[in-house]
Amino acid sequence: MKSYDLLLKLQKYLKLLLCSKKMNTLEFCCEELKFAVDIAGQEGLGAFPKKFTDRCRFVLQSRICPPGKEHLARCTIGFCPWCGCNLDEFIDNNEKAIDELADKSKKYEDFITKRTKK
């Protein structure tokens, strides 16, 4: 990756971090998880809560290509990958805000992984 491209990506992520107003009412366990939630659905490593039959859980999502050529990897997580916070406890302590965020995050659940042939 060229230095210029890397700088553009960094600028994009910093702008999202500084200008994001998505989660102004919810106190996250750490800034890294907040940032991951703010960029969910975009290129890079994101996170979002998803409602399952038994409870809400966080989903860690990695998007390695720009939109339109999505390659995704997703898994549910029980602990924050950055600070180790128990996310089930975090969800229980912020149930209403997490439910609202899960409703807003439904659009990230519907992406289909596409593979390109070489």
CA distances from residue 46 to 40, 42, 53, 54, 59 in whole angstroms, order as listed: 4, 7, 22, 23, 8
Cα 72 off chain centre by: 12
Two tokens, residue 44: 């890079």
Residue range of the domain that includes 51? 3-108
Residue 58 lies in a domain: yes
d(C-alpha 70, C-alpha 78), whole Å:
25
Residue 60 lies in a domain: yes
Residue 115 lies in a domain: no
How many separate domains does the chain show?
1
Residue 118 lies in a domain: no
Q: Is 78 exposed, middle or buried (0-12, 13-18, 19+ CB in 10 A)?
A: exposed
Q: At 34, is the secondary structure helix, strand, or coil?
A: helix
What length does the chain have?
A: 118
Q: At 82, is the secondary structure helix, strand, or coil?
A: coil
Residue 114 lies in a domain: no
Q: At 57, is the secondary structure helix, strand, or coil?
A: strand
* Residue 84 identity: G
Residue 20 lies in a domain: yes
pLDDT tens, N- to C-terminus, the chain (118 residues): 567 677 667 666 665 554 444 444 688 999 999 999 998 888 788 999 999 988 999 999 887 776 667 677 889 999 999 999 999 999 999 999 999 999 988 887 654 333 333 4
Would you state the pLDDT for residue 8?
A: 67
Residue 99 lies in a domain: yes
Residue 77 lies in a domain: yes
